[in-house]
Chains A and B, each alone.
Chain A
Amino acid sequence: MNELPLPAPSTGPSPVRPSTQPSAGGPVATSRRGGLWRDTAGQVLRQRSARMGLAILGLLVFVAVFAPVIATHDPDGRLLGVEQGVKQRAAPCIHLLGCPEDQPQHLLGTDGNFRDVFSRVVFGARTSLVIGFAAIGFAIIVGTTIGALAGYIGGGLDNVLMRLMDIVLAFPALLLAIAIVTAVGASLANALFAIALVSVPIYARIARASVLSTKESDYVTASRALGESGFGILTRRIMPNSITPLVVQGTLGIGGAVLEIAALAFVGVTGDLNRPEWGSMIGLERNQLFNAPHVILAPGIAIILTVLGFNLLGDGLRDALDPRLNR
């Protein structure tokens, strides 16, 4: 085993904690059984909130992937004149639960354009998940790059980059996103871009903090002495330390992004409002709450479930992975 010449500080002989000695063989043993990843997965799954979050998100991903199979109707299909007896904003009608057979079956009713709400909600899962992952993925890549460079190079660059981040953070995120979308044109792609952009500073700060906390440590100095390049040190020695906080924050961030995209769609700055998307479904029908609450509640509950799933998973990840909480 080649890690022997570099004793990790925590396993060093210490008269105060002799009890750590026997368990020193622990990590080696677990790595034989399946390694770090399996170990981590086990820790995460021990958290009830992580399990609940994963269950909700698993269901959502399933629905999004198999949307064409699950949906009972074409999400964009206007059924007026196509389907016999279809009514505008009809309440949910399920034949199994006693809805008269002569009425067309719509699991979650129909909307103002005679479309099947259930199918639209099902297809909406695709939009929300894709945008959430894409926006936060982009924010993490850009933010981490900025934060890592600022922290590693330091000096003037650090100052300029982090002040830029402060400026972005000084705006309420949603307002800035609305302003950006209006500036570059109302479309879903631009909304994604705006959400990504306003999320960048959070990840930049996390990456910078972990670079600052590790760049002076002994093992980094050792790598440098061994002749490793600056890029190699940054990517292989320092950045792995920031994966945990980035993953935790990213998971919570996707939930936030789903909320933001829904809000942008609700105020109508995502272009085509007839796309099956939860926020615009609510925005289009918001004055109909009093006669047909289902057209608002169905996509509303879908948003709540999605965000709840990401929040629960994020909390579970944090509880499992944050060493400061392992008390």
Chain B
Amino acid sequence: MTIPVLIGITFLVFALARLIPGDPCRAVLGERATDALCNDFIIRYGLDQPIPVQFVSYLQQLASGDLGTSIKHSRPVTTLLIERLPTTIELTLLAMLFATFLGVPLGLLSAYRRNSAADVGTMMFANLGVSVPVFVLGLILAFVFAIVLKDTPFALPPSGRLSSGVSVVPLAVVWGLEDWTGPPRALLDFVSGIYIFSGLITGQWGPAADAFRHMILPAVALGTIPLAIVARITRSSLLEVLGLDFIRTARAKGLGERGVVIRHGARNAMMPVVTIIGLQLGLLLSGAVLTETVFNLAGVGRSLFEAISGRDYVVIQGFTLLIAFGYVMINLVVDISYGLLDPRIRLQ
């Protein structure tokens, strides 16, 4: 089932990119480009071919791992991805970690102490959390932590990825692998772009901490909606499980309350939580467009938005495809992880 969906996605992306009105030639070369220049441009990028022909040659190109060359930046889309994807990965992963590691315990606590002040508070927060637009929260956080708390230890930077003057030395330089080329080098550069991770594994503590400080506000802004959703789902799922017979059995055989809730209850309550975490990743990618705009981060979301306004077909296609494929793959991983959590549905 996954493959027809992937082909459908590819076609939809391709068609949508072609539907965007406006002349790509003049969007790139400027309003005053001559007709001759434009003719040249159109032939060079194969835009004079019928759409089905363009689609087939695009598929052939994709099959060889080539996402094309950005019309606007005159650089391969893969290079752009290596530059921009790490930002988005860092942002979404931190946001997801924030949502999961705060949301699951909050949800468990709420269910465990149902109707207590902690429960009511958490659920009120969760209701509010899912109602706040990412960009409003981002702006408010930036205002509080960069302006109100300026000059206090709690001040946090509201934009960019690193403070000026700070840089994370790329892995290729640290490990003396500068003569590497091709895909291995690309992979190395890609990992280097995930500043917090590459800083940590090479012992550049200062820059890594700086990168982390820059990501706190964006990650919290982006992670709040998922946090609220994860907390709610965890709570209702655990409540449902705690009402089942085997929990009574566990209590009857004399297990401590904590053992019952954590070992027997929580584990069985995790399935819907895992599903929702997977689904939230798609939402995070949407939110990343807004977060990256608010916090001035050059990630995939903002690049995609710029590509759409600049009619850079190739970039739109490449980035959207990647996101949609990633999303489909995440769902696949979620399906597989069910088996790990619940032996009853291990893949046959």
Contacts and interface: CB of A to CB of B under 8 A. Distances in A.
Interface of A: 49, 163-164, 166-167, 170-175, 178-180, 182-185, 255, 259, 262-263, 266-267, 279, 282, 286, 289-290, 293, 296-297, 300, 303-305, 307-308, 311-312, 315, 327
Interface of B: 1, 4-5, 8-9, 12, 16, 19-21, 127-128, 130-136, 139-140, 142-143, 146-147, 243, 282-283, 285-287, 289-290, 293-294, 301, 304-305, 308-309, 316, 320, 323-324, 327-328
Contacts of A327: 243
Nearest to B239: A327
Given A184-B19, A300-B140, A266 B285 contact: no
Given A170-B324, A179-B320, A183-B21, A311 B294 contact: no
A292 B210 CA distance: 29
Nearest to A309: B131
Given A174-B289, A259-B131, A267-B289, 17 more contacts: A49-B127, A166-B8, A167-B12, A171-B327, A172-B282, A173-B286, A174-B286, A182-B308, A185-B21, A255-B131, A267-B293, A267-B305, A282-B139, A290-B146, A296-B136, A296-B139, A303-B133
Contacts of A164: 8
A170 B135 contact: no
A282 B136 contact: yes
Contacts of A174: 286-287, 289-290
A267 B8 contact: no
A172 B132 CA distance: 18
B136 A303 contact: yes
Contacts of B9: 167, 170-171
A286 B19 CA distance: 30
A178 B136 contact: no
Given A263-B135, A300-B136, A183 B16 contact: yes
21 contacts: A49-B127, A166-B1, A166-B5, A166-B8, A172-B286, A175-B286, A182-B308, A183-B21, A259-B131, A263-B133, A266-B133, A266-B135, A266-B290, A279-B133, A282-B135, A289-B142, A290-B147, A296-B139, A300-B136, A300-B139, A303-B136
Contact of A167 (B5, B20, B131, B139): B5
A256 to B, nearest CB: 9
Contact of A171 (B4, B146, B316, B320): B320
Contact of A259 (B5, B133, B289): B133
Which 8 residue pairs are nearest across A and B when measured between Cβ atoms?
A174-B286, A300-B136, A307-B131, A172-B286, A308-B131, A183-B19, A167-B8, A172-B285
B143 A178 contact: no
Contacts of B294: 286
Contacts of B308: 178-179, 182
A103 to B, nearest CB: 24
Dominant secondary structure of chain A at its interface with chain B: helix
B8 A163 contact: yes
Contacts of A300: 133, 136, 139-140
Contact of A312 (B4, B5, B127, B324): B127
Most chain A Cβ neighbours within 10 Å, of B5, B133, B146, B308: B133
B328 A170 contact: yes
B49 to A, nearest CB: 20
A307 B9 CA distance: 31
Nearest to B311: A182
A170 B309 contact: no
Contacts of A178: 289, 305, 308
B230 to A, nearest CB: 16
Nearest to B20: A183
Contacts of B16: 179-180, 183
A282 B327 CA distance: 30
A199 B256 CA distance: 46
Contacts of B5: 163, 166-167, 170
A289 B141 CA distance: 11
Contacts of A184: 19
Contact of B327 (A170, A255, A293): A170
B172 to A, nearest CB: 32
B134 A286 contact: no
A308 B327 contact: no
A293 B148 CA distance: 11
Given A171-B320, A172-B327, A304-B136, A290 B19 contact: no
Contacts of B324: 170-171
A171 B305 CA distance: 14
B133 A262 contact: yes
Contacts of B146: 290
